[in-house]
Amino acid sequence: MSMQLVQVLAASSVFIAFACAELWRGRFFPREATREDDRLDIVITLTFPLTSGLVLLLANILCEFVAPAARGAFADWPWWAMLATLLIGDDLTQYLWHRLSHTSVLWPLHRAHHSAAYMSVRVVYRNNFFYYLLMPGLWISGTLLYLGFGWFYVGYAIVKLAVIIGAHSAVRWDEALYRHRTLHPLMWLLERTISTPATHYAHHALSQDDGIGHYTGNYGNLLFLWDVLFGTARITRRYPPAFGLADDRLYGNEGWAPQFLFPLLRSSRTASALSSSSEHRRP
């Protein structure tokens, strides 16, 4: 069985498991989801494997052209060296990319991820098409695969996706652990190491004026440790009461197509970050 197939099957299994848990608890079809949300969630979830696969393929072709003799050159590296390289080359760069996406430079490509007024596995891949096409971490991962990271990268990617999917899911796995006082020391360490529902929900909050929401921080994907190290962390062990974007509530929701294909398609909505003229941005 090929590495790519194993990765796709494993990641899909994690996604489906959380989706089934949401279905069982009646949270997979949130009442806040509009028809445009449904369309956007479906399109992006189906196209993300194609987009990420395209980037990895192009990275492989580019490496073959630039350095044909380097294929598999790092295949004999010890596991800890591969892990450190991936955490920096993939996860740290994704933290920085995510942080940059909350500035006017890249916000139009990331806005779709925050326009959902709910948390769910449906939101995991919800970003503009070009957000992933330009993501440095994917290009670096493709290069590392070419250099021989192979099966180790597959295992790393599965673990990372499990953490990310769990952090977005409407099934808040950390909530039960917070209730047990004997587990508080473990949770103190865990919530400062990886992304959890409590810390990542805060990033998706509608407001950060209540001491819980923190959309100007908590950018980590696999490692929340980056937020701790770079001073962008907020840990409250509480969950925001509402999610989404204030401008959607003021002016109406954006259509799914501009959110997915900006700047190829632009919004005609008033005060839109996806229009050709508006400078409206989330602070």
Does residue 2 lie in a domain region?
Answer: yes
Q: Can you give the pLDDT at residue 138?
A: 94
- For residue 85, is it within any domain? yes
100 part of a folded domain: yes
Question: Residue ranges of the chain with pLDDT lower than 50?
Answer: 283
The rounded mean pLDDT for the chain is 92
Give me the residue label for tokens 């709910």: 118
**pLDDT at residue 2, rounded to an integer:** 73
Residue-level pLDDT at 272: 87
Q: Is residue 23 part of a domain?
A: yes
Among 219, 232, 254, 251, which residue's Cα sits nearest to residue 92?
219
Q: What is the pLDDT of residue 278?
A: 53
Distance CA 178, CA 164 (A): 19
Q: Which helix (H) or strand (E) holds 80?
A: helix 79-86
pLDDT for 161: 94
What's the rounded Cα separation, in Å, for the pair 146 and 142?
Answer: 6
* Residue 137: domain span: 1-171
Q: Domain total for the chain?
A: 1
pLDDT at 228: 98
Note whether residue 102 is domain-resident. yes
Q: Is residue 80 part of a domain?
A: yes
